[in-house]
Amino acid sequence: MTFEELGLSPNTLRAIDEAGYTTPTPIQAGAIPKVFQGQDVLGIAQTGTGKTASFTLPMIDILSRGRAKARMPRSLIIEPTRELAAQVAENFEKYGKYHRLSMALLIGGVSFGDQDKKLMQGVDVLIATPGRLLDQYDRGKILMSGVQLLVIDEADRMLDMGFIPDIERIFKMTPFTRQTLFFSATMPAEIQRIVDTFLHNPAKVETEREASAATTVSQFLLSLPSNDAKTKRAKLREIIQNEALKNAILFCNRKRDVDVVAKSLSRHGISAAPIHGDLNQSIRTETLERFKTGDLRILVASDVAARGLDIPAVSHVINFDVPFHAEDYVHRIGRTGRAGRTGISITMSTPIDHKALASVVEMLGHPIPPYGESQVSASAPTTTEAPTKPSRQRPVRKRKTSKPEITAKPVVVPTPEKPVKPKASATKPPADTPFGTHVPNFFSED
């Protein structure tokens, strides 16, 4: 299957070519023809499968016919977080560079005034988080009657974040005749109910959950005998110092800990900064940029803020806590080992994490190999046992070379399939992109 065979326009094909993509990913091959046929689509796919392009590419061609009217967006894309919304905006810029479509973002942290001006002019594509969209709607700033295409992305995450009532409201506000493209990595009962209620005979496109052979993450577990936060932070510094760690995303379960850990690392001279939902948008964007460019070594993140972020070269993921939801473990460690690279994940676990750890181990179907005992200082002895019985003893990781030496067999985990990018994502849009006046500068940075 080629992109030409999917029925995309020459201008879109040119942009895809410049992005360096040669072959459609499975979700793209499955969804794009259905979108062109006008069918509703239910895409069961995780981030990393190329799902964003599976809706943005056909939307660009569909929306290139017709014009936007003031306050009446022609299409609406709902994302759970600002970062994902910004990422989708980047996709529209990249793939829509040879079209003249207008786009606006309605996300927290961007001033109402700017957003309102864009909406007033009329937009082809409106990308929004649910709360901000409903705010603007309730203020009478947007009319939904022109929405022909509605995209709900990361629906299961919306469920986790309590957005389902908002999503139902958004469905009811948009015309019955709209086409709906609905994406979710998993299908819990509540999501299935939404699909059954609001989608019309959707084409179901499901991608493999299994990792591609290229996506390997070596996972390790460091079990600590005490819950003491100070000891835990000291162990964390040891890990950072011992590992040949180019950069890392470090996850904490709580926003408060994100701040504390980032501050503590900085105080110890380790380049680190926090990212979570309570931080001002411009700070979040700046922090992400610094991390992407290599200026910042450790991004300390909450699950929500880091969900779906596409940062190709992350050498390590460190879980400062075991995530409350087992599926977040897969999302977290999937931040490394992307784009054909290998990656290392190290999960720290204390007695309070044992329940959460048991469900991660159950989900994986095998214990997580212990992180090398020799790294751990004698002052606080550690255990390396997962709470469920390991099926067999795994080798311990040895120390200490300039490169991380992995003696435990890398475990291929069900991280999302990652299409290999032949060239770096390339082609920054020119300053006068088709969306030039509609997009805050930081969104056009690649």
* 253 in contact with ligand AMP (CB under 6 A): no
Beta strands in 231-302 (DSSP E): 248-251, 272-275, 298-301
Question: At 2, is the secondary structure helix, strand, or coil?
Answer: coil
Is the Cβ of residue 56 or residue 216 nearer to ligand AMP in the bound state? 56
Is the Cβ of residue 116 or residue 208 nearer to ligand AMP in the bound state? 208
Q: How far is the CB of 19 from ligand AMP (least distance, A)?
A: 7
Near ligand AMP by CB under 6 A: residue from 8, 15, 21, 433: 21
What tokens does 34 get?
């259905």
* 211 in contact with ligand AMP (CB under 6 A): no
What tokens does 275 get?
């990212």
Binding mask 392-421 for ligand AMP (x = CB under 6 A): ---------------------------x-x
Question: At 14, is the secondary structure helix, strand, or coil?
Answer: helix
* 435 in contact with ligand AMP (CB under 6 A): no
* Number of residues near ligand AMP (by CB under 6 A): 16
Q: Which range in 21-29, 128-136, 154-162, 242-250 contacts ligand AMP by CB under 6 A?
A: 21-29
> Beta strand 149-152 with 179-184: parallel, antiparallel or unpaired?
parallel
Q: Which range in 18-26, 217-225, 250-258, 365-373 contacts ligand AMP by CB under 6 A?
A: 18-26
63 close to 124: Cβ distance less than 8 angstroms: yes
How many Cβ atoms are within 10 Å of 412's Cβ, its own excluded? 17
| Tokens 């992305």, located at residue | 153
What tokens does 105 get?
């973002």
Q: How far is the CB of 338 from ligand AMP (least distance, A)?
A: 8
- Inter-helix orientation angle 51-63/10-19, to 10°: 150
Q: How far is the CB of 431 from ligand AMP (least distance, A)?
A: 21
* 52 in contact with ligand AMP (CB under 6 A): yes
- The H or E element containing residue 221 is strand 216-223
How many Cβ atoms are within 10 Å of 321's Cβ, its own excluded? 20
**CA atoms of 215 and 224, how far apart (whole Å):** 29
Binding mask 222-241 for ligand AMP (x = CB under 6 A): --------------------
**CA atoms of 88 and 65, how far apart (whole Å):** 21
* 24 in contact with ligand AMP (CB under 6 A): yes
* 43 in contact with ligand AMP (CB under 6 A): no
* 53 in contact with ligand AMP (CB under 6 A): yes
Q: Which residues of the chain form contacts with ligand AMP (CB under 6 A)?
A: 21, 23-25, 28, 47-53, 310, 419, 421, 425
